């Protein structure tokens, strides 16, 4: 090992030196080989290294956090406060801005009464919590060892840590038993599972590598993420595109009722997390019967004026790690946290718009994502049924897999509004959707640190309720580019199936090339880009078949197997790789459960539901 020095020169097991200490650019203060451990035939190597804690970059990050404690809230008091508040000007107002100001003024006042904002100093640490009397004992033993180098003090330190671990184990068992005996044991056990896995799945971003420098300051990191995510989209242009009207009927409004607002609220997950307006979902779910009436006024006013409130146009962005190097910005994707009140309204708009688009048959059957009665499973079933049927007839099956780069972020707002108009969406709903898309901002949030607000110039909001449906409407007519092949879509995941007898390969190849060119032209027209490096093709039935397909001069790769919506397909339609992948995943899950849970009943139940 170049530039490293091995410092142990005394045998550590019989006459052999098996336990090593390598140092680079540092000299140990002391190093000695002690007597054998009780549970091993190896001798213990004690090494002391110089370390200046005053200049160390390794430290616990202390922060101040603002929060509202909803655990002991008197919800009946909230119902009374809302009933006794003066809502007259709110219900008489014809101005959305004035109505929203009154809404937030009253609700924030109620929130401050039932769950006032509190400050807490948070020390983020994944260390094992050690009770005070054990900490005192460990300090005493540590001093004793440094004074006398007495090995028995180290053994006692080890025993003390084992006692602390046993306390934590017993506490964990009690938590599991409590979850198992609750009325909703599955939900509580899964919640406990996620809690215990949190250190390994931590969303914190401790450091980012930028221009060769390791950055640990959270203010700088949040702004780096903010700049990075803000540059994912494209600036809007004024180029006109001819859009053919596809609708025979039209939809100009959405009906808001007390019942569908209650239904939308009930569909929310109970949580104390919140968007930029500071109101959590638990507030709406437990706020009593008056809140839906108040929201009914707001939603009606917003839609009739064709105006989406500016207060709802700013989203928190939480960077979510994908894979690869954690210090690389490119290995994170943005997760939007929008105001809860906006999600309630979006849910109603989304449901009624979806019903209209499906009933008018404006969305192609090839699309399986984010639509009622369609799912990932229906996409798999129809795709595999087609492939298996054609192979049974002796046909070869060629499948193109196309990847649209940053698809959700690249949607052009002006073109999207034009497409919605071609589907029969009219004012005031069309104006409201245009307002929903325009003049948005995003703020990156890591723990309690916020970045500066950045404008969002393109794309649909990932994490919003309405965003996926708007994207589906935008990408929908890509299906018209295919006449020879059959497309399958799940949101932006696109594959096209071509089946043909072996003797008709030349004719099919010509058709595939033509349709691939049509897709390229379509993407250029609608300001989207195909990522050739992530596109490819697979042929079921003939491993020897070889030819070149390209996009804008970039050759597409030949695939022997492909992971498609979580399922691995091989060229010979053997699912051995899929079985091995799932077996490995199950083993990892089982190991994770065994390491983090102690009760056999909780282990078995978790394995069944995960």
Question: What DSSP element (H or E) covers 231?
Answer: none
Mean pLDDT of 497-516: 95
Return the structure tokens found at 59: 């430290």
In a domain, 558, yes or no: yes
Question: Omega into 428 within 30° of 0, i.e. cis?
Answer: yes
Q: Could you read off the pLDDT of 167-214 as tens digits, one per residue? A: 999 999 999 999 999 988 998 898 899 888 765 444 455 688 787 788
* pLDDT-derived band at 127, boundaries 50, 70, 90: low
* pLDDT-derived band at 64, boundaries 50, 70, 90: low
- In whole numbers, what is the pLDDT of the chain averaged over residues? 89
Return the structure tokens found at 413: 């707002």
For residue 327, the Cα-to-chain-centroid distance in whole angstroms is 18
In a domain, 264, yes or no: no
First to last CA, the chain: 44
What is the residue whose two structure tokens read 């994912």?
Answer: 232
Q: Is 52 helix (H, G, I), strand (E, B) or coil?
A: coil
Q: Which residues contact 436 (CB under 8 A, 6 or more apart)?
A: 308, 466
In a domain, 157, yes or no: no
Output the 3-class SS for 424-439. Answer: CECCCHHHHHHHHHCC
**What would you report as the CA-atom Rg of the chain, rounded to the nearest whole angstrom?**
30
**Which pLDDT score, from 0 to 100, does residue 163 have?**
92
**Which pLDDT score, from 0 to 100, does residue 427 have?**
96
Dihedral sign for Cα atoms in the order 324, 448, 224, 59: negative
Residue 250 φ/ψ region, left for φ over 0, alpha for ψ in the -120 to 50 degree band, beta for the rest? beta
Q: Could you read off the pLDDT of 89-103 as tens digits, one per residue? A: 999 999 999 999 999
Check residues 217 and 525 and name the one with the higher pLDDT: 525
Q: How many structural domains is the chain composed of?
A: 2
Residue 309 to residue 436: CA distance in whole angstroms:
8
pLDDT at 155 over 90: no
In a domain, 342, yes or no: no
Q: Is 160 helix (H, G, I), strand (E, B) or coil?
A: helix
- Phi first, then psi, for residue 585 (nearest 5°) are -65, -40
Contact 601, 593 (CB under 8 A): no
**Which pLDDT score, from 0 to 100, does residue 542 have?**
85
Return the structure tokens found at 432: 């409201």
Helices (H), 558-599: 576-596
pLDDT at 59 over 60: no
- Domain range spanning residue 17? 1-50
Mean pLDDT of 78-89: 96
Interhelix angle 96-114/290-304, nearest 10 degrees: 150
In a domain, 570, yes or no: yes
In a domain, 524, yes or no: yes
Percent of the chain with pLDDT over 70: 92
CA angle 314, 319, 323 (to 5 degrees): 150
Mean pLDDT of 389-394: 95
Q: Could you read off the pLDDT of 572-604 as tens digits, one per residue? A: 999 999 999 999 999 999 999 999 999 999 999
Residue 130 to residue 138: CA distance in whole angstroms:
10
Return the structure tokens found at 352: 């009624």
What is the residue whose two structure tokens read 């962005």?
Answer: 317
- Phi first, then psi, for residue 8 (nearest 5°) are -95, 120
Q: Could you read off the pLDDT of 483-499 as tens digits, one per residue? A: 999 999 999 999 999 99
Contact 458, 233 (CB under 8 A): yes
* Residue 544 CB-half CA count within 13 A: 1
Q: Which residues contact 22 (CB under 8 A, 6 or more apart)?
A: 1, 4, 5, 6, 7
Return the structure tokens found at 378: 């229906």
Helices (H), 239-304: 258-266, 281-285, 290-304
In a domain, 43, yes or no: yes
Dihedral sign for Cα atoms in the order 145, 148, 151, 153: negative
pLDDT at 53 over 50: no
Residue 78 to residue 343: CA distance in whole angstroms:
22
Provide the b/e sequence for 397-436 (b: ≥16 CB within 10 Å).
bbbbbbbbbbbbbbbbbbbbbbbbbbbbbeebbbbbbbbb
pLDDT at 120 over 50: yes
Residue 590 to residue 581: CA distance in whole angstroms:
14
**Which pLDDT score, from 0 to 100, does residue 55 have?**
45
* pLDDT-derived band at 115, boundaries 50, 70, 90: very high
| Residue 467: closest CA among 488, 425, 437 | 437
* pTM of the predicted structure, to 2 decimals: 0.83
Torsion of CA 572, 573, 574, 576, to 10 degrees: 110
Return the structure tokens found at 532: 């050739």
């Amino acid at each position: 090992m170049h530039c490293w020095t091995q410092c142990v020169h005394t045998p550590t097991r019989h006459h052999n030196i098996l336990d090593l200490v390598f140092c680079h650019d540092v000299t140990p203060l002391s190093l000695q080989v002690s007597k054998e451990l009780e549970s091993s035939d190896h001798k213990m190597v004690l090494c002391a290294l110089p370390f200046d804690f005053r200049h160390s970059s390794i430290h616990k990050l202390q922060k101040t956090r603002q929060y509202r404690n909803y655990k002991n809230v008197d919800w009946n008091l909230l119902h009374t406060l809302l009933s006794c508040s003066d809502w007259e000007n709110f219900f008489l107002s014809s101005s959305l801005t004035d109505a929203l100001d009154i809404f937030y003024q009253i609700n924030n006042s109620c929130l401050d009464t039932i769950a006032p904002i509190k400050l807490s100093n948070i020390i983020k640490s994944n260390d094992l919590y050690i009770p005070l009397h054990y900490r005192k004992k460990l300090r005493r033993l540590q001093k004793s060892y440094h004074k006398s180098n007495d090995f028995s003090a180290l053994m006692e330190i080890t025993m003390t840590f084992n006692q602390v671990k046993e306390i934590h184990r017993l506490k964990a068992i009690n938590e599991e038993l409590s979850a198992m005996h609750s009325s909703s044991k599955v939900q509580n056990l899964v919640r406990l599972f996620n809690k215990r896995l949190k250190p390994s799945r931590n969303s914190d971003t401790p450091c980012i590598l930028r221009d060769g420098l390791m950055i640990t300051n959270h203010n700088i990191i949040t702004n780096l993420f903010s700049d990075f995510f803000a540059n994912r989209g494209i600036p809007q242009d004024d180029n006109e595109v001819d859009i053919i009207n596809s609708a025979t009927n039209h939809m100009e409004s959405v009906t808001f009722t007390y019942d569908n607002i209650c239904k939308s609220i009930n569909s929310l997950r109970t949580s104390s997390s919140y968007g930029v307006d500071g109101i959590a979902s638990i507030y709406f779910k437990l706020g009593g019967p008056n809140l839906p009436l108040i929201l009914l006024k707001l939603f009606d006013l917003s839609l009739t004026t064709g105006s989406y409130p500016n207060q709802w146009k700013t989203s928190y962005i939480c960077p979510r790690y994908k894979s690869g190097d954690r210090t690389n910005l490119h290995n994170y994707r943005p997760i939007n946290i929008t105001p809860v009140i906006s999600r309630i309204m979006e849910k109603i708009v989304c449901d009624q718009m979806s019903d209209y688009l499906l009933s008018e048959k404006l969305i192609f059957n090839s699309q399986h994502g984010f639509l009622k009665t369609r799912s990932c499973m229906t996409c798999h079933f129809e795709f595999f049924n087609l492939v298996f049927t054609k192979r049974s007839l002796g046909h070869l099956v060629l499948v193109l897999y196309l990847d649209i780069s940053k698809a959700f972020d690249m949607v052009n707002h002006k073109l999207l509004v034009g497409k919605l108009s071609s589907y029969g969406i009219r004012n005031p709903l069309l104006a409201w959707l245009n307002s929903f898309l325009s003049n948005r901002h995003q703020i990156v949030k890591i723990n309690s640190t916020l970045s500066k607000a950045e404008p969002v110039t393109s794309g649909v909001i990932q994490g919003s309720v309405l965003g996926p449906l708007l994207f589906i409407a935008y990408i929908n007519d890509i299906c018209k580019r295919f006449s020879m092949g059959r497309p399958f879509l799940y949101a932006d995941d696109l594959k096209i199936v071509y089946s043909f007898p072996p003797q008709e390969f030349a004719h099919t190849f010509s058709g595939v090339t033509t349709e691939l060119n049509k897709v390229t032209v379509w993407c250029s027209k609608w300001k989207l880009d195909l990522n050739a490096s992530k596109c490819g093709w697979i042929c079921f039935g003939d491993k020897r078949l070889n030819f070149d397909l390209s996009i804008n001069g970039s050759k597409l790769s030949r695939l022997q197997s492909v992971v498609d919506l979580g399922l691995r397909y091989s060229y010979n339609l053997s699912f051995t790789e899929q079985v091995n992948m799932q077996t490995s995943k199950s083993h990892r899950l089982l190991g994770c459960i065994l390491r983090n849970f102690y009760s056999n009943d909780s282990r078995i139940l978790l394995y069944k539901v995960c």
